[in-house]
Amino acid sequence: MRALVGRDDEEPWARLRAGSGSPADEEGRAPFNLTELVRELVDARRDEADRYEVTLLAALAPATAMGRVRLAGRLVVTLVENAIRHNTAGGWAGVTVRHGEGRAVLTVVNTGPPVPDDRLIFRPFDRGGPGGGTGLAVVRAVADAHGATVSIVARPEGGLVIEVAFPAPDAT
C-alpha cells in the first residue's frame, strides 16, 4: 500500500500549490484500474474504520481512469480517511466506483456532523476538526491535475457526498 502512496507525492502537491506545473502532465500518466486501486486502499483502512466505530462500505464496478496512479491513490486515501475521521460513532462511510459518460467516477459518502453550505472546505488549512486542514485542498489539486471534476454536496442529515470524475482512457 505504501508503494502506491508515499511521501514523494507531497512534492507534486507543493508544486501544484506554487503553480509550477501539473503532475498529471509529467511522465507516468497512463490508464489505471481505478476499481482495484480503490479496493486496495479501502481494504487497508478497515481497521481505522473499526477504531472510529464507522462501518466502511464499498460497491465497486469496473472503471479505468487516465492519470498518475500514485497521485490518484493519494486522493482516494484522503477522501476515505476524511469520511472515516469526520464521522460519528455508529455511522458509515460508503465508497463507490462506476464508469459513466466517458468518466471513471469515484463517490465517497458519509454520515457525520452537518457541514454548513458556506464553509470553504477546499481552502488549504481550513480546519473543521482535527487534522492539518489540507485534505480537500489536496483532493482538488490532484483532481485538477488529472482533468477530473470534483463536486461536494452536504447531506441535510449530516455528512457529505463527494464525487470525483476522472477522464477515462477512451475519452482522452
- Read off the pLDDT of residues 99-156 as tens digits, 9 standing for 90 and up: 998 999 999 999 988 877 655 454 443 444 444 444 588 888 899 889 999 998 889 9
Q: How far apart are CA 9 and CA 74, in angstroms?
A: 7
- Is the pTM higher than 0.85? The answer reads no
| Percent of the chain residues past pLDDT 70, beyond the cut | 72
Pairing of strands 92-100, 64-67: unpaired
CA gap 149, 165 in Å, rounded = 5
82 vs 124: CA distance, rounded Å: 14
What are the structural domains, with CATH classification, of the chain? 7-171 (3.30.565.10)
Distance (Å, whole) CA 105 – CA 69 = 15
For 87-97, letters b (16+ CB in 10 Å) and e give beeebbbbbbb
